[in-house]
C-alpha cells in the first residue's frame, strides 16, 4: 500500500508541476537589436468625400444590351437643292481631263444639271445632292460626270477657298495636280465637279 501512495503522490506532483510548467511563457527568441526609426509624418485627414448619389435608371437606359441604335436628332436641315434639270453656266477647261472615265478634251463647255440622281456612284449623305451634270458643246452632250451640290444653308460649313462670285464659276487644279475642280455658284448653292486629269 505504501507503493501505491508514493506512486499516487508522485503522479499528483507531476501533474501539478506539468500544469505549472505549461503555464509559464516560453523564453523570447534572441533577435538583433531593433534599428532606430523615425516616426512617419502624420498625414492630413482626407477631406470628407461627397456621398455618391445613385441615380435611378431612366427608361431609355434601363435596358443594357439593346440591339438597335437609338434614333439621333437631325443636325442639318433637309436638302433644298432643286431636283429638275437646268443649265449651270459655261466653263473653260484649259487641259484635257476625264469625265465618267472617258476623255474630255480642253475647250469651252456649257454645263447642264440633269434630274438624274447618281445613285450607284454617290457617296454623299443624300442622293438628291449627288446628281449627273452634262458637258455640252455645239448642242451635243460630249461628256458627263457626278456633281456634288452644297446647299446655300451648308455652304459655310464646307467652304475653305474663296468661292466664285454669284452666278460665276471657277476651274482650278487641286493640290497634288491629280484633279481639276469645276466650282459653280448658282442661286447661292455650290455645284462641285471633280475631274481626274487625262
Residue 66 has a pLDDT of 42
Q: From the CA atom positions of the chain, what is the Rg in Å?
A: 46
Q: What is the pLDDT of residues 62-83, one digit of tens each?
A: 444 445 545 544 444 544 556 6
Average pLDDT over residues 43-47: 57
Distance, CA of 12 to CA of 71 (rounded, Å): 92
Q: Could you tell me which residues come within 8 angstroms of residue 168 by beta carbon, excluding any fewer than 6 positions away?
A: 89, 184, 185
Q: Which of 118, 110, 165 is nearest to 141 (CA)?
A: 110
Residue 181: is its pLDDT beyond 50? yes
Q: Count other C-beta atoms under 10 Å from residue 186's C-beta.
A: 20
**Sequence-separated (6 or more) residues with CB below 8 Å from residue 105:** 93, 96
Q: What does pTM read for this prediction?
A: 0.56
What average pLDDT does the segment 8-20 reach? Answer: 52
Average pLDDT of the chain?
Answer: 73
Read off the pLDDT of residues 83-131 as tens digits, 9 standing for 90 and up. 677 999 999 999 999 999 999 999 999 999 998 888 755 454 555 688 9
Give the 3-state secondary structure of residue 94. Answer: coil
Confidence label for 178 from pLDDT (cuts 50, 70 and 90): very high
33 or 61: which carries more pLDDT confidence?
A: 33
Given this model, what pLDDT does residue 107 score? 96
pLDDT in the model for residue 129: 83
Q: For residues 97 and 181, is the Cβ–Cβ distance under 8 A?
A: no
Amino acid at each position: 500500500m505504501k507503493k501505491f501512495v508514493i506512486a499516487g503522490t508522485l503522479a499528483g506532483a507531476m501533474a501539478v508541476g506539468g500544469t505549472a510548467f505549461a503555464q509559464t511563457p516560453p523564453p523570447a527568441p534572441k533577435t538583433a537589436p531593433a534599428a532606430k526609426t523615425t516616426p512617419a509624418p502624420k498625414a492630413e485627414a482626407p477631406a470628407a468625400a461627397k456621398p455618391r448619389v445613385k441615380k435611378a435608371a431612366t427608361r431609355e437606359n434601363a435596358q443594357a444590351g439593346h440591339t438597335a441604335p437609338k434614333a439621333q436628332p437631325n443636325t442639318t436641315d433637309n436638302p433644298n437643292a432643286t431636283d429638275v434639270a437646268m443649265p449651270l453656266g459655261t466653263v473653260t477647261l484649259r487641259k484635257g481631263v476625264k469625265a465618267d472615265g472617258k476623255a474630255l478634251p480642253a475647250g469651252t463647255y456649257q454645263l447642264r444639271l440633269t434630274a438624274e440622281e447618281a445613285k450607284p456612284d454617290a457617296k454623299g449623305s443624300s442622293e438628291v445632292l449627288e446628281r449627273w451634270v452634262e458637258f455640252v458643246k455645239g448642242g451635243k452632250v460630249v461628256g458627263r460626270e457626278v456633281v456634288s451640290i452644297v446647299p446655300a444653308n451648308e455652304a459655310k460649313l464646307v467652304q475653305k477657298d474663296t468661292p466664285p462670285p454669284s452666278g460665276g464659276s471657277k476651274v482650278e487644279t487641286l493640290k497634288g495636280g491629280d484633279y481639276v475642280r469645276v466650282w459653280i455658284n448658282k442661286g447661292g448653292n455650290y455645284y462641285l465637279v471633280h475631274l481626274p486629269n487625262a
